Amino acid sequence: MLSGNLLWVLSGTMLLGIAAGITGTFSFLQKQSLVGDAAAHAALPGIALAFLLTGQKELPILMLGAGITSALSVYCIQWIVSFSKLKADAAIGLVLTVFFGIGVVFLTVVNRSPLGNQSGLNNFIFGKAATMTKADLMWLFISATIIILVSLLLYKEWKLLIFDPVYAKGIGLPIEALKATLTVLIVMTIVTGIQAVGVILMSALLIIPAASAKLWTKKLSSMLVLSATIGGISGITGTFISAMRTGLSTGPIIVLVAAAIFFISYFISPSGQISKYRRKMQFRKQGELG
């Protein structure tokens, strides 16, 4: 099955993994991993609405709709947290489910319309990586490139924003614009990724590689590279495995590969459990001698 199609999908999922690894690391360090999850779910109403309003099933239009509601959800979360006593976790959960619920409402209307596609929800949740087309791949390639370039460009500024926000403000960095750019990149990753690999997988790719990378290094630059690598490897390996056995959809396997990498890191990395155990035993010995 080593066809041209497989190569497309391999490149696509690899690029997606890399892009998600990079943007996911920035979210992770700001403790906003689950905001990405909400933004991913929030794409649904945008896609359905775009179709309802324009009658078009063209990818760019649907992606634009997805991007708008996705970005909107991020701002809703921020608005709720700053405007009410509700805390971040509840704001994220509320926005996630309400946007998704609205999306389901629109999708039901879409499915009843003559042009509607019945398998819409399934594709949204699980994606259709195996049926990735050249157009999908092109979008992924463009997005991934933009993400990598912008990350390189704004690396110093984002680093400061994350690790020393007070100082960043003090030297006059445009905090809101920087945050907004990051949000745009995350939304872009989500929007290009969702139609290929689905909502749940998107959330997974934004979180798991970043969390794994943090177990190996504390330096931002290393974390970014490692996270991107893990994301890319998960993408390629997962796609490969699923190609070897027909009937297995690519999405879940990619997630499980990433999860496997995480759990291995959890145990054997320098910050991982085995090292911790060794240190604890050493510590105890010293305590008994001292």
- Specify the residue, 12 or 198, whose C-beta has the smaller distance to another protein: 198
Span interacting with another protein, options 147-155, 163-171, 183-191, 252-260, rule CB under 8 A: 252-260
Q: Give the one residue of 81, 104, 154, 160 binding another protein; rule: CB under 8 A.
A: 104
What percent of the residues of the chain are helix, what percent strand, and what percent coil, each to the nearest 5? 85, 0, 15
- Taking CB under 8 A as the binding criterion, the range among 96-104, 135-143, 155-163, 169-177 that sits at the site for another protein is 96-104
Given 4, 114, 170, 247, the residue binding another protein (CB under 8 A): 247
Which DSSP letter does residue 32 get? -
Q: Minimal distance in Å, beta carbon 10 to another protein? A: 19
3-state class of 55 per DSSP? coil
CB of 108 to another protein, least distance (A): 4
Q: Is 227 in the site for another protein (CB under 8 A)?
A: no
For 185-216, b/e burial (b = at least 16 CB within 10 A) is bbbbbbbbbbbbbbbbbbbbbbbbbbbbbbbb
Cβ(251)–Cβ(127) under 8 Å?
Answer: yes
Site for another protein in 121-140 (CB under 8 A): 121-122, 125-126
- E strand or H helix at 35, and its extent? helix 33-41
Q: Which residue type does 246 have?
A: T
Helix axes 33-41, 59-83, angle to 10 degrees: 130
> Looking at beta carbons only, is 83 or 172 nearer to another protein?
83
Site string for another protein, 269-288 (x = CB under 8 A): --x-x--x--xx--xx-xxx
Summarize as ranges the residues that interact with another protein (CB under 8 A).
28, 31-34, 37, 80, 83-87, 89-90, 92-94, 96-105, 107-109, 112, 121-122, 125-126, 200-201, 203-204, 206-208, 210-211, 214, 247-249, 251-253, 255-256, 259, 262, 266, 271, 273, 276, 279-280, 283-284, 286-288, 290
